[in-house]
Structure 1
Amino acid sequence: MSTLSIVIPVLNEAARLPACLAALQSLRARGVQLVLADGGSQDGSPALAAPWVDLLVHAPRGRARQMNAGAAAASGEQLLFLHADTDLPQGADAMVSKALRGGASWGRFDVLIDGRSRWLPVVAFGMNQRSRWTGIATGDQAIFVRRDIFDRVGGFPDQPLMEDIELSQRLLAHGLRPAFLRPPVVTSGRRWDERGTWHTIVLMWALRWRYWRGESAQSIWEAYR
């Protein structure tokens, strides 16, 4: 049985997948299981990924549903959820194993954002600091968790947005604080580049505020779209 399974939710990521999966092959060679959870891609993503992963899962569209399906099919005692546009630091498998075997139940990495805006380092710094203060992790930070704990809290909620925040809150409600790994993952700044940095910052804070106030994830998703 693989100790660590990396679950990658994908929807039409053919342009990004080769670089993403090539970077993970050294981990795969060390016994890490790669699980790709496809949500109905129309660009050939599953066929492209098949030779590079250990398990290909077809799931209903939606990041939470895809990650839950991938986790259910994975064999690892430890789970790491990785976006296709995010790269792990070298030795990430050893870092995760050390954290989870050292007493942590779950955790996340710091994040850097790769994009055009000079403000993105400031955005990443703010994300990392906010996460330390609140214990809330985002999907961009490559959340990892012990399988038994993930199952105990019911996995990701079946909602179209804020599934990472809700999972964090479920774990915190059980008295489980995350491990914060400083070696950063590097995630794409494409949404900041496409929408504008400050517009995206304001939008995301507004959506989080609405979620905190109790609005449904569905209504927030519609506003985001």
Structure 2
Amino acid sequence: MAMDFTERHPRRKTNASITRWCSVIIPTLNEASTLPVTIGHLAAEMRSGGIEVIVADGGSTDGTVSIARALGCVTVQSPRGRGRQMNHGASQATAPYLWFLHADTTPPADWVRQLRKAATTGATATFPLRFATKRRFSLLHVYGWLSDFDVEAFRFGDQSLFVTAQNFRSVGGYDEGMSLLEDNDLVRRLGKSSGRLSLLDGHVTTSPRRYRQHGVAFTQSMYVFLYLAYRAGASNGWLLRRYQRAFG
């Protein structure tokens, strides 16, 4: 079920919201090793007061929350689950635009210019994806390259999502009943409500850690299988059981 923002989690009151143009929402669960790198790419705009960074933590035990606070982020605690965490972070946002960014994903150098350009049109937007790998030839390069195409099937959370707070709340945010593919589901609902997703220039870079752990071909094959099953109408519970069987 998507979240009703009119009833839960009132927004924080702050005078800084007058000048902030974007609230960056980062869901975390034991991301102490990755979060500082990602925040480093946002730090200049944080210092200028243009953005706030809200870390929505799902119960980390590795110091993620204390690191986030030390880096100047707003921190909120949430029941575990990426959709729940991102909804909870968004409920605390004070800016007119929301940018959902994973803790192990770093934005391009000109991300401010790119997002401000998208903001002038009010478009929902995302970046193409690249994986952080030094291998010259890898299937990961192919998988990243596919995100360059304007195809709804290639839209996932690692690419980040930029959306007006109004549009996000109008569709009820992330479906908290979904443990998988909640990002693709949101993009599909936003597309029906406010128009097709805009693909930005450049790319975000994300960690291939799950691919390294389970094997590139196997991991991608499972993602394709799960996505096709989702589009064929499989329940999220069924998808989750297959996911856990594959990845533990």
TM-score (norm 1): 0.93
Alignment RMSD (CA, Å): 1.5
Q: Check conservation: 1:4, 1:93, Cα contact below 8 A.
A: no
Question: Larger deviation: 187-196 or 17-26?
Answer: 17-26
Q: Distance in 2 between matches of 1:157 and 1:128?
A: 26
Q: Distance in 2 between matches of 1:103 and 1:66?
A: 24
Q: Check conservation: 1:136, 1:169, Cα contact below 8 A.
A: no
Q: Check conservation: 1:115, 1:192, Cα contact below 8 A.
A: no
Residue 191 of structure 1: how far off its partner (Å)? 1.2
Render the CA deviation track for 1:91-148: whole Å, top value 9, x for unaligned: 31221121121242x110011111366221111012332xx12376211111110000
Partner of 1:125: 145
Residue 170 in 1 paired to residue 196 in 2? no
Partner of 1:144: 162
Question: Larger deviation: 44-53 or 133-142?
Answer: 133-142
- The structure having more radius of gyration, on CA atoms, is 2
Give the secondary-structure state (helix, strand or coil) at the position aligned to 1:174: helix
Aligned CA distance change for structure 1 residues 26 and 189 (closer, same or farther; 3 Å): same
Q: Distance in 1 between matches of 2:170 and 2:185?
A: 14
Q: Distance in 1 between matches of 2:154 and 2:162?
A: 13
Map residues 1-225 of structure 1 onto 2, 5 A cutoff.
1=17, 2-30=20-48, 31-104=50-123, 106-115=124-133, 118-129=138-149, 132-134=150-152, 137-158=155-176, 159-225=178-244
Larger strand percent: 1
Counterpart residue identity of residue 65, structure 2: P
Unaligned runs of 5+ in 1: none
Q: Distance in 2 between matches of 1:178 and 1:16?
A: 28
Question: Larger deviation: 184-193 or 214-223?
Answer: 214-223
Counterpart residue identity of residue 212, structure 1: R
Counterpart residue identity of residue 144, structure 2: A
Number of paired residues?
222
Residue 67 of structure 1: how far off its partner (Å)? 0.4
Render the CA deviation track for 1:170-223: whole Å, top value 9, x for unaligned: 112225111100210001111111111111111000000110111112221221
